[in-house]
Amino acid sequence: MEVPFKLISIEHFVSVAVCVSFIVFFPRLFKDKDEAKLKTLRVSIVVLILTFQILDFYKVVYLFGDPWKTALPLHLCDFSAISIAGYLLTGNKHLFNFAFFWGIAGAGMAILTPNSVHAFPSVDYLANQYGHSLILLGISVAIIVFKERPYQRDIFVIFGWTTLMLPPLYVINYFLRAPANYWYLLEKPYGNNIMTPLPEAPFHMLYLYPIAFCVLLLVYAPYYFSDRRAPNK
C-alpha cells in the first residue's frame, strides 16, 4: 500500500540529501579531465535527460492512465531539461541561462516540495526526484566543469522571455482543457508544496508573478555577492 506524501518526513529528507550530494559532488570528478571524457559526460547526461522525457510520457499515459494532454513536455521543468540538454550539445549560452534560472528554481523546488501524491518509494515520487535531479546535474556540470555563469542582465532577459511565453501557454491550456495545466496557470498543483498557501486560481497568479521575479533574484544572489567581494575579477 502506497503511503501519502508528507513534506516533513525522514524518507523525504534523506532523498533530498542524496540528490543534492550527487548534484554537487559528482561533477567535481570531471574537473580538468580531457576532452574525450568531457564529451562522454555531456552526451551521457543528454541521453539520460531525453530518455527520461520520453519515459515520463509513458509513465503518465500508460502506467498511470492519465490523459495524454497532461504529459506533453510543456512544463517549465521540461523547458529547463531541454535547454540544459541543448547547452551540453551546443554550448549555447542562452540555453544555459534559461536552464540556470528556471532549472534551479523549478527543479530545485520540485525536489524539495514534490508534486507527488505518494511518498517514497512510489513510482511518481522516485520519477520526480530522478528527473529533476538530472536537470540540476546538467546545470551543475555546466558551472563546475565548463565554468559557465550567469550575469545580472540575464535576470531581466529570462524574465522577459518567460513573460512572453505566458500567453501562448495559457492558450494551449485553454484549448486542451482540463486536466491540462502547464506552468500551473489554471490551477495550483496538488499535494503539499510551496503553492499550497496561495489563493485559488486564477488569483494565485497575482502572487506568483512577483514571486517568480524574486526567485530569479534569489537564484542569482550568490554570484551578486561574490562579484561584490571581487569587483575586479
pLDDT in tens, 125-161: 899 999 999 999 999 999 999 999 999 999 999 999 9
Report the pLDDT value the prediction gives residue 193, as an integer from 0 to 100. 63
Report the pLDDT value the prediction gives residue 192, as an integer from 0 to 100. 61
Q: Which residues contact 45 (CB under 8 A, 6 or more apart)?
A: 85, 88, 134, 137, 138, 141
Domain ranges in the chain? 10-229
Do residues 99 and 85 touch, judged by C-beta distance below 8 A?
A: no
Q: Tell me: the pLDDT tens digits for 35-70?
A: 999 999 999 999 999 999 999 998 888 888 889 998
